[in-house]
C-alpha cells in the first residue's frame, strides 16, 4: 500500500490534480430565489425572507460567505453549513428593517468554490413605509422690506414619504416673525402637503434672523427653516453746505470735426444771448471751453467782465481735431478729473454744482456707455447738470446725426436737450436758464416722494422759497430766496415705496 501511495504522490498525471474548468466533476451553486422581494415594513419594523443555497454539481461545494453592499437596512445570517456535498442545500435568513421611506434595492454577493461563477449576486428589494417631511423652500431671504411694512411668504410642508405623516407643531422664532397654518395636529397622507404662511413685520432692526420649526413624526426629527430679512428705511436726511448761489460755472465742450465749423460760429454769435440771460439772474458766471482730448480748457475763462465775449468765444471753440473729438462725455469727464481741477483747470469749479453744455453733430462715441461717464462726473460734481445741442434724437437731420448718448445724459441729470435745426441755427437762451439754476440746485441722494419733503436752513424750517424738480431729483431755491453761503441745509424726505 505504501509504495502505491508514494507512486500516486510522485506521479500526479495518473489521476490526482487540482479541480478546474475541464473537470468532469465540479460543484455548482444554485441560489433560490434569484431575486428576493421583502414584504413592506413600517418604520423600524422588520420583514424577513429566506434564501436557499444548493449544490447541484458533482463535487463538494465550499461556501465562503455572503456580503451585503449596503447593510444600513438589511442583515443576513450566514448558512449553517459552509460546505455542501452534491445534492445538499442550506438556508440563509435575510431581514429588512425599514429606516428610510420608499423602495430600495441592494445586492447580496454569495461567494463559493463554484468554478463557473465564483460570485453570484442576488438583488434584494424592499420598501419602507416611513413618513418623510420636505420643506419648500428650505430657507427664506427677504431683502429690503420697508420699515413698517408686512411681507408675506408661503412655505410648503409636504409628505414625500410612504406612510402617513403627522404634523404636531409649527412655530416661528425671531423678532417680527409670525406663522399661520391649518389646525394641528394634522395628518398628511403620502404626497399630500399644506402651506405655512410666514409674515414678517419690518421694524427698526436693519437685519433680522428667524427660524421656522416644524415638528412631526418624521424619523429625521424637526425641520428647521432659516428665515433672514433686511429692513430698508425709506426715510433719508441729506445735509448740504449752502453754495454761493450767484456763482455759476459752465463747461462748454465743442466737437472739433470738420462738419462743426458753422455750428461753432453760430455758438459764438449767440453767446451774448447766453450771457445776457445769466446776467438777468445776477449770476457771477464763468465759462470754460474744452476741446482737447485731455480735457484742459482752451484758454481764459469767460466771465461777465470779458470785454469781447463773442470774439473770445470764437477763438476758443476752434481747436485741433483730436482722436477723441467725438467723445464729448470722455473729454468732459477728463476736464472735471481731480488731476485737472487741481492743475490745468484750477479755479474753474467753485462749488459742487456746474453746468455742462455739450455740442456735437454726431452721436456720443466714447468707449463706455453714457451712464458710466455721468456717474463718474456726478461723483466729483454732485450738482452737475448736463445739457446738449446735437442732432434730433429720432432720425437726425440733414446736418446732424441723432444725438444718442448726449440725449440720455441730459435726461439723467435734468438738463436741456436742443436739436440742431436743418439750417444749422443753434438756440442757446434755454441753456442759460438751465445753467443759471445749477448753483441753486441741491440733488438728493435718493429718489424722493415730493409730498414728504421738508427743508431746514440753519435749523429753521423753510416752507417756501424752494421747489422740487422731480426730473433732476433736486431741491432748487428761488433766485430771490437763496440761503446764505455756508449755511447748513437739511432736507428730509421719504423714498417712494409701497407695502406688499
Kind plus residue range of the DSSP H or E element containing 226 = strand 223-232
pLDDT band at residue 205, thresholds of 50, 70 and 90? very high
Strand partners, 188: 165
Q: At CB < 8 A and 24+ separation, what contacts does 260-265 make?
A: 260/359, 260/360, 260/361, 262/424, 263/359, 263/361, 263/389, 263/420, 263/424, 263/426, 264/314, 264/317, 264/318, 265/314
pLDDT given at position 434: 62
> Is a pLDDT exceeding 90 seen at residue 185?
yes
Fold observed for domain 243-441? Rossmann fold (3.40.50)
pLDDT given at position 271: 57
The predicted model gives 12-20 an average pLDDT of 44
- The H-assigned helical ranges of 336-468 are 338-341, 370-380, 406-413, 429-436
Q: Return the closest-CA partner of residue 430 out of 297, 197, 274.
A: 274
- pLDDT tens track for 476-498: 898 788 888 789 999 999 999 88
Provide CB contacts within 8 A for 61, sequence distance 6+: 27, 28, 29, 55, 83, 84, 85, 86, 112, 113, 114
Provide CB contacts within 8 A for 224, sequence distance 6+: 211, 212, 213, 214
Do 133-233 and 243-441 agree at the fold level?
no
Q: What is the 3-state secondary structure (H, E, C) of 382-399?
A: CCCEEEEEEECCCCCECC
> Is a pLDDT exceeding 90 seen at residue 188?
yes
> Is a pLDDT exceeding 70 seen at residue 268?
no
pLDDT given at position 273: 56
- In a 3-state reduction of DSSP, which class is residue 341? helix
Q: How far is CA 461 from its chain centroid?
A: 41
Q: Is residue 85 within 8 Å of 99, Cβ to Cβ?
A: no
CATH number attached to the domain at 23-129:
2.60.40.10
pLDDT given at position 269: 60
pLDDT given at position 80: 65
> Is a pLDDT exceeding 90 seen at residue 391?
no
% of the chain residues with pLDDT over 90: 58
> Is a pLDDT exceeding 80 seen at residue 59?
yes
Class of residue 415 by CB neighbours under 10 A (exposed 0-12, middle 13-18, buried 19+): buried
pLDDT given at position 264: 61
pLDDT given at position 490: 97
The predicted model gives 389-410 an average pLDDT of 86
pTM, two decimals, is 0.56
pLDDT band at residue 437, thresholds of 50, 70 and 90? low
> Is a pLDDT exceeding 50 seen at residue 424?
no
CATH 2.60.40.10 fits 133-233, yes or no: yes
The predicted model gives 435-456 an average pLDDT of 84
More confident residue, 387 or 313: 387
% of the chain residues with pLDDT over 70: 84
- Mean residue pLDDT of the chain comes to 85
User: Domain residue spans in the chain?
Assistant: 23-129, 133-233, 243-441, 444-494
pLDDT band at residue 422, thresholds of 50, 70 and 90? very low
- pLDDT tens track for 81-136: 689 999 999 999 999 999 999 999 999 999 999 999 999 999 999 999 999 999 99
Q: Is residue 371 within 8 Å of 408, Cβ to Cβ?
A: yes
Amino acid at each position: 500500500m505504501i509504495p502505491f501511495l508514494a507512486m500516486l504522490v510522485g506521479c500526479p498525471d495518473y489521476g490526482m490534480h487540482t479541480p478546474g474548468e475541464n473537470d468532469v466533476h465540479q460543484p455548482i451553486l444554485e441560489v433560490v430565489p434569484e431575486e428576493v422581494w421583502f414584504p413592506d415594513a413600517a418604520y423600524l419594523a422588520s420583514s424577513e425572507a429566506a434564501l436557499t443555497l444548493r449544490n447541484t454539481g458533482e463535487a463538494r461545494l465550499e461556501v465562503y460567505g455572503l456580503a451585503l453592499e449596503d447593510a444600513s437596512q438589511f442583515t443576513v445570517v450566514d448558512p449553517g453549513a459552509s460546505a455542501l456535498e452534491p445534492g445538499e442545500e442550506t438556508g440563509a435568513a435575510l431581514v429588512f428593517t425599514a429606516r428610510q421611506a420608499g423602495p430600495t434595492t441592494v445586492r447580496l454577493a454569495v461567494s463559493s468554490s463554484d468554478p463557473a461563477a465564483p460570485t453570484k449576486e442576488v438583488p434584494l428589494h424592499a420598501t419602507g413605509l416611513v413618513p418623510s417631511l420636505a420643506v419648500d423652500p428650505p430657507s427664506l431671504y427677504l431683502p429690503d422690506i420697508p420699515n413698517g411694512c408686512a411681507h408675506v411668504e408661503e412655505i410648503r410642508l409636504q409628505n414625500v414619504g410612504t406612510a402617513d405623516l403627522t404634523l404636531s407643531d409649527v412655530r416661528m422664532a425671531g423678532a417680527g416673525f409670525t406663522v399661520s397654518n391649518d389646525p394641528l395636529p394634522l395628518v398628511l397622507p403620502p404626497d399630500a402637503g399644506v402651506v405655512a404662511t410666514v409674515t414678517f413685520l419690518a421694524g427698526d432692526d436693519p437685519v433680522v434672523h428667524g427660524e421656522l420649526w416644524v415638528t412631526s413624526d418624521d424619523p429625521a426629527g424637526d425641520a428647521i427653516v432659516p428665515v433672514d430679512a433686511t429692513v430698508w428705511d425709506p426715510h433719508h436726511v441729506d445735509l448740504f453746505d449752502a453754495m454761493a448761489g450767484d456763482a455759476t460755472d459752465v463747461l462748454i465742450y465743442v466737437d472739433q470735426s470738420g462738419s462743426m465749423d458753422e455750428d461753432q460760429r453760430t455758438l459764438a454769435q449767440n453767446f451774448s444771448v447766453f450771457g445776457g440771460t445769466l446776467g438777468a439772474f445776477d449770476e457771477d458766471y464763468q465759462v470754460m471751453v474744452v476741446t482737447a482730448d485731455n480735457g484742459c480748457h482752451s484758454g481764459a475763462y469767460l466771465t461777465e467782465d470779458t470785454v469781447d465775449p463773442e470774439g473770445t468765444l470764437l477763438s476758443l471753440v476752434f481747436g485741433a481735431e483730436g482722436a477723441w473729438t467725438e467723445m464729448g462725455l470722455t473729454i468732459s469727464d477728463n476736464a472735471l478729473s481731480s488731476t485737472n481741477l487741481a492743475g490745468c483747470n484750477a479755479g474753474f469749479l467753485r462749488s459742487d454744482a456746474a453746468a455742462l453744455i455739450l455740442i456735437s453733430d454726431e452721436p456720443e462715441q466714447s468707449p463706455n456707455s453714457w451712464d458710466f461717464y455721468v456717474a463718474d462726473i456726478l461723483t466729483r460734481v454732485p450738482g452737475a447738470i448736463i445739457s446738449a445741442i446735437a442732432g434730433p434724437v429720432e432720425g437726425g437731420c440733414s446736418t446732424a446725426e441723432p444725438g444718442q448718448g448726449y440725449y440720455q445724459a441730459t435726461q439723467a441729470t435734468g438738463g436741456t436737450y436742443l436739436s440742431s435745426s436743418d439750417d444749422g441755427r443753434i438756440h442757446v437762451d434755454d441753456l442759460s436758464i438751465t445753467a443759471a439754476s445749477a448753483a441753486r440746485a441741491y440733488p438728493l441722494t435718493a429718489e424722493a416722494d415730493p409730498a414728504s419733503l421738508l427743508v431746514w436752513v440753519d435749523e429753521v424750517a423753510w416752507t417756501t422759497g424752494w421747489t422740487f424738480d422731480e426730473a433732476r431729483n433736486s431741491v432748487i431755491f428761488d433766485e430771490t430766496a437763496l440761503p446764505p453761503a455756508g449755511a447748513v441745509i437739511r432736507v428730509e424726505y421719504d423714498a417712494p415705496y409701497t407695502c406688499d
